[in-house]
Amino acid sequence: MIDVSVFIVDDDASVREALAWLLRSRRLPSQVFDSADAFWQMVEGGWEPAQACCLLLDVRMPGLSGLALFERLIERGLHQTMPVIFLTGHGDVPTAVDAVKRGAFDFCEKPFSDNALVDRIEQALVQSASFVQARREVAQLRQRLGELTERERDVMRLVVDGLPNKRIADQLEISVRTVEVHRARVFDKMEVKSAVELANLLRHLQGG
């Protein structure tokens, strides 16, 4: 698959073709889907955003509606890493506004202004890049955490609690020298230089 920046989901072939052409003219790679069901099948197949991207999503379509797809993306936590811009007819504007309140990035009423739409797409991609990077950092942090031994985890928890080596040794019934060795290994594996930095990393992990 090419590196896709924009996914287009609309049951109207003329709309899909016009949007794909517009994006090509702005050097934004896109991939089109003729239904929300088809896009959801890709997500169900294990796809997740690995780079900045956004979704242009029609509100009303046969089968799975754009709104129903959006709800599923919220449940997967994908609406931030892949911001959703709804494409709406005039009668769907109130619905689209409500979707924005639920976390959609924006909506664009048909017929849309090319420049205004591309501006919002580019802004959505900036947001996406930030969230994709944050998710990548959390994944890397979880991997580093998974490389700690059980004893290293014990020491880490007490270090983060602010206990000095002597108290950690007493609590775990090991020597101070052993605590020092485990502490050094924890710092090395977690790629930090202080207990404060370690605590900040773990807070970041909880937040992610």
Query: For 88-107, what is the mean pLDDT?
Result: 88
What are the backbone angles phi and psi of residue 8, rounded to the nearest 5°?
A: -115, 120
Query: For 44-56, what is the mean pLDDT?
Result: 92
Q: Which residue has the tokens 């031994």?
A: 149
Query: For 156-165, what is the mean pLDDT?
Result: 94
Burial of residue 123 (number of CB atoms within 10 Å: 0-12, 13-18, 19+): middle
Q: What is the mean pLDDT of the chain?
A: 92
pTM exceeds 0.85: no
Question: Domains in the chain, start-ordered, CATH in brackets?
Answer: 6-136 (3.40.50.2300), 147-207 (1.10.10.10)
Q: Which residue has the tokens 């959801």?
A: 40
Query: For 54-63, what is the mean pLDDT?
Result: 94
* pLDDT per position as a tens digit, 106-155: 999 888 899 999 999 999 999 999 999 888 888 889 999 999 999 999 99
Distances 39 to 10, 19, 65, 94, 190 between C-alpha atoms, Å: 10, 17, 11, 24, 37
What CA–CA distance (Å, rounded) separates 61 from 122? 25
